[in-house]
Structure 1
């Protein structure tokens, strides 16, 4: 009996190691206080900046009620930080943004989307933080219902979700 117990120890150790690797690393975009959900870099003052949910939302939340093609026919209530406000907070100098998702998908958009078109970095829906499975932790959305002229394929293609970084070019 003792021999079997000793033979199982390496297997148990290996399984424990695999379980530890499966846990999210500190600073990844999983839920939890203090976890980094966004990195802003490129042409900004003072070098790259990391934001956790509280730090990002401390820039000032705004509410946007809009319909999206991904959430059905009824309007949804999103809250988040206006992209223009984030760019101002980091003293962004460029006119183009490269926004990258957790799965490495990326879009490029003009700064004009922040300044003129009201793009919002949504972090909540119905007051609840967006989870990764719900297009979070950050989803770039536009005021489609309020501004129907933005309900075009070009702006829908820029509505990237699961955002992890923004580079100012």
Structure 2
């Protein structure tokens, strides 16, 4: 029941925030959302900088992964919260990395609890170490996520999400 109340409180906070006009970012843009979204803060896109990402509830996932040899703690806003902020209405998401690597995932993956990690063990991701943004799933919390399908959906150096 406590978790349900926290989730409801987070949704209400995000809904209230989304109801207000969201200004264009003043800092360096780190993530661009586009496509089938209802919120725009520059043209047909929704741009996020660190300040905007900091305003969202931050989540942590402690998990092992194929990319690191030990368990790490990843932190950042949930994919679900970021999509809600932009008013995403797409059935699928096209995620793109700095090097133009692109994957397509179902929007329903947001319900599995992935986060857009900004830190690993409390330190900001560098571009050299899969940053600044890394979509990470809670692999150790759900054995069904421990397979090639979900590992391939964990895109690092994430720069854009297009809702389709």
2:145 matches 1:150: yes
After TM superposition, the runs of 4+ consecutive aligned structure 1 residues lying more than 2 A away are: none
Name the CA distance, whole Å, in 1 between partners of 2:105 and 2:61. Answer: 20
Name the CA distance, whole Å, in 2 between partners of 1:153 and 1:57. Answer: 31
Secondary structure of the residue aligned to 2:89 is coil
Name the CA distance, whole Å, in 2 between partners of 1:80 and 1:59. Answer: 9
Name the CA distance, whole Å, in 1 between partners of 2:66 and 2:157. Answer: 17
How far has the Cα of 1:34 moved from its partner?
1.6
- Which of 119, 131, 136 pairs up with 1:136? 131
Name the CA distance, whole Å, in 2 between partners of 1:90 and 1:112. Answer: 16
How far has the Cα of 1:57 moved from its partner?
2.6
Name the CA distance, whole Å, in 2 between partners of 1:137 and 1:54. Answer: 14
1:71 aligns with 68
- Which of 90, 93, 96 pairs up with 1:94? 90
- Which of 112, 137, 157 pairs up with 1:162? 157
2:122 matches 1:127: yes
Specify every segment of 5 or more residues in structure 2 that has no aligned partner in the other structure, as ranges.
1-25
CA displacement, residues 71-108 of structure 1 (integer Å, 9 cap, x when unaligned): 11x21011011101111111111110000000000000
Larger mean Cα displacement after TM superposition, 33-42 or 82-91: 33-42
Aligned length: 135
- Which of 101, 110, 117 pairs up with 1:114? 110
The root-mean-square deviation of aligned C-alpha atoms, in Å, is 1.2
- Which of 34, 38, 57 pairs up with 2:31? 38
Secondary structure of the residue aligned to 1:75 is strand
- Which of 46, 49, 52 pairs up with 1:49? 46
How far has the Cα of 1:168 moved from its partner?
0.3
- TM-score by length of structure 2 reads 0.79
How far has the Cα of 1:54 moved from its partner?
2.2
1:5 aligns with none
- TM-score by length of structure 1 reads 0.77
